[in-house]
Amino acid sequence: MATRNIRVIGDEILTKKCKPVRFMTPRILQLIDDMFETMYGQNGAGLAAPQVGILKQIVVMDVDDGNQYVLINPEIIEEEGSQTGSEGCLSVPGKYGIVTRPEKVKVKALDTDMKEFVLEGEGLLARCICHEVAHLRGELYVDLVEGELRDNSELEEEEEGEEEQA
């Protein structure tokens, strides 16, 4: 396993459409391993292949629900409800913004054996699925932000202020 460099906003690769995976290979399995290591190393909840410079439709996720997910060629097939909340991206370091997403989604994808499955997610998992599938289309959450894109340092200062008041 190895960590890979994360591409950041401004890098053209993050705006490009990813290609479907046609068959599994040892190199792709290695890539998936590296994506998990890279994601955990940065305390991320998910990571899409273009974030490490690979234009393939591959996503890994771990939103702390005790499950690791690998989604190959994911397609959102159902959306329900809506949630408005904070979102960040490892490719937009130090920032966060408020984004409205579906509360529940159903996504169809292939696993590492190239077998189809359907995953239902709600809350943070649904948010993460939408965020990662958008990466595969070359889209970043910054274009969906309601109001200002904000600095994480402002958030920390606010939290410190709240602690001082407490």
Q: Which residues are catalytic?
A: 132
Burial class (CB in 10 A: 0-12, 13-18, 19+), 66: exposed
Sign of the alpha-carbon torsion through 146, 94, 90, 65: negative
b/e sequence 17-32, b meaning 16+ C-beta within 10 Å: ebeebeeeeeebeebb
Task: Identify the residue among 35, 36, 57, 87 touching ligand GNR (CB under 6 A).
Answer: 87
Nearest distance, CB of residue 42 and Ni ion, angstroms: 11
87 binds, among Ni ion, ligand GNR, none (CB under 5 to 8 A by kind): ligand GNR
Given the rule CB under 5 A, which of 21-29, 83-91, 109-117, 154-162 is the region that contacts Ni ion? Answer: 83-91
128 binds, among ligand GNR, Ni ion, none (CB under 5 to 8 A by kind): ligand GNR
Q: Residue 138 belongs to what H/E stretch?
A: none
Quick one: tokens of 85? 């909340």
Given the rule CB under 5 A, which of 10-18, 22-30, 85-93, 115-123 is the region that contacts Ni ion? Answer: 85-93
Q: Among residues 54, 61, 11, which one has the least CA distance to residue 36?
A: 61
Residues that bind Ni ion in the complex, under the rule CB under 5 A: 89
Residues that bind ligand GNR in the complex, under the rule CB under 6 A: 44-48, 51, 87-91, 127-128, 131-132, 135
